[in-house]
Amino acid sequence: MKNAADVVHHDLAEICNSLTKEFTALNGKHILITGGAGFLGYYLVQAILHWNKTTQSQIQLTVYDNYMLGMPAWLKQLENEPNLTLVKHNVTLPIPKDVGNFHYIIHGASIASPPFYRKYPIETIDANVNGLRHILNYALAQQKKQPVEGILFFSTSEIYGDPSSENIPTPETYNGNVSCTGPRACYDESKRVCETLCVNFAQQHNLPITIVRPFNNYGPGLKANDGRVTADFATNIFNNEDIVLLSDGSPTRTFCYLSDAVIGYYKVLFKGRPGEAYNIGVETPEVSMLQLAEKMRDIAKDMFNYQGNVIKKVSDDKHYLTDNPNRRCPIIQKAQSELGFDQKISLEEGLTRSLIWYRDNK
């Protein structure tokens, strides 16, 4: 793959090939994605449009987003696509009255980047909790008209907080070790109460709601200034600066490339059991932030003759590391056995594709 357009085209084709059965069944149906202008929206939205284009299908797609950080250029370019409706809407407000019937709803609207949710904690809670509640109210009202066929709530691996060592790798059955008052609580705790809402609406009202817990996605579409680690390192690389670690480099994560993750999310929406949560991520390799930085440095050196090094600094943000989990690594056996989810893209391949994308989207 030579450039960002190749990477995106290849990834979208891979997503569509892995979801042929599911997307075929969607012809003529209407999907709502909230928060679709964000990082995960980049492929959640474009995969549907790619499918429509390559198979002459007519899946209707509506995106709600308040564009709190501006409307991204990639979405603006899609404004006139057939079967796509973009609505500037704050999900903390009730769903507009005149909307049609949505067959499927994906609730992804939230602030997801730690520096941003610490800056906007109340907005983060509202977008998750009130936003989800409005969607559930809509789905309840639709039960007597045209029932919604599936709702996917985007939770997070952060609902596990900082797991004790015997709970790593972490299965869905682990209850978590989370602060309800710390600087990350606005995010973690609102996701937790949202999961409780989903489970109870599924049980009490028979709503077909599934929950996904993403573990550290990376790849095309994650904005350079987002504040998440792969974006920070790529920014350093293409600014020709040293790669800056804002910790001692020891915390570990596993990283799931966006196209793999998006396949998993659609599988949870279409095939997951109502009221159930699924980890979506990869089990290996679990790498330290230092190892990740070194991997990105080495790939950039080979591909772009990058000459920088990896250095350590202390963040200006005094809460940068507060309640930051030391290890995060999922068990994904539930999604593998129930949904047929698995990793296709290795970390090296995913980082290579990501760096090509960042080079062309500076």
Ligand X SMILES: NC(=O)c1ccc[n+]([C@@H]2O[C@H](COP(=O)([O-])OP(=O)(O)OC[C@H]3O[C@@H](n4cnc5c(N)ncnc54)[C@H](O)[C@@H]3O)[C@@H](O)[C@H]2O)c1
CB of 35 to ligand X, least distance (A): 3
List interacting residues with ligand X (CB under 6 A): 35, 37-41, 64-69, 90-92, 108-113, 127, 131, 154, 156, 214, 216-217
- Shortest approach of ligand X to residue 158 CB, angstroms? 7
Q: Give exposure, 33-46, as e/b (b: 16+ Cβ within 10 Å).
A: bbbbbbbbbbbbbb
Closer of 35 and 275 to ligand X (Cβ): 35
98's CB contacts (< 8 A; 6+ apart) are: none
Least gap, CB of 64 to ligand X (angstroms): 6
Q: Which residues have C-beta within 8 Å of that of residue 156, sequence separation ≥ 6?
A: 112, 187, 188, 191, 213, 214
For residue 357, the surrounding DSSP H or E stretch is helix 347-360
Shortest reach from residue 190's CB to ligand X, in Å: 9
Least CB distance from residue 194 to ligand X, whole Å? 9
Q: Where are the alpha helices (DSSP H) in 170-257?
A: 185-205, 229-238
Of 362, 354, 359, whose CA–CA distance to 8 is shortest? 354
Q: Which is nearer to ligand X, 30 or 328 (CB)?
A: 328
Cβ proximity of 277 and 211 under 8 Å: yes
Residue 86: is it exposed, middle or buried by C-beta count within 10 angstroms (0-12/13-18/19+)?
Answer: buried
Nearer Cβ to ligand X, position 227 or 275? Answer: 227
- Collapse the DSSP code of 81 into the 3-class scheme (helix H, G, I; strand E, B; otherwise coil) and give the result: coil
Residue of 117, 138, 187, 278 with catalytic role: 187
Closer residue to ligand X (CB): 156 or 236: 156
160 in catalytic set: no
Q: Do residues 272 and 278 make contact, with C-beta atoms less than 8 angstroms apart?
A: yes
Question: Which of residues 7 and 282 has its CB atom nearest to ligand X in the complex?
Answer: 282
Beta carbons within 8 Å of 148's beta carbon, 6+ residues apart: 102, 103, 104, 105, 138, 139, 142, 207, 208
Which of the residues are catalytic? Answer: 187
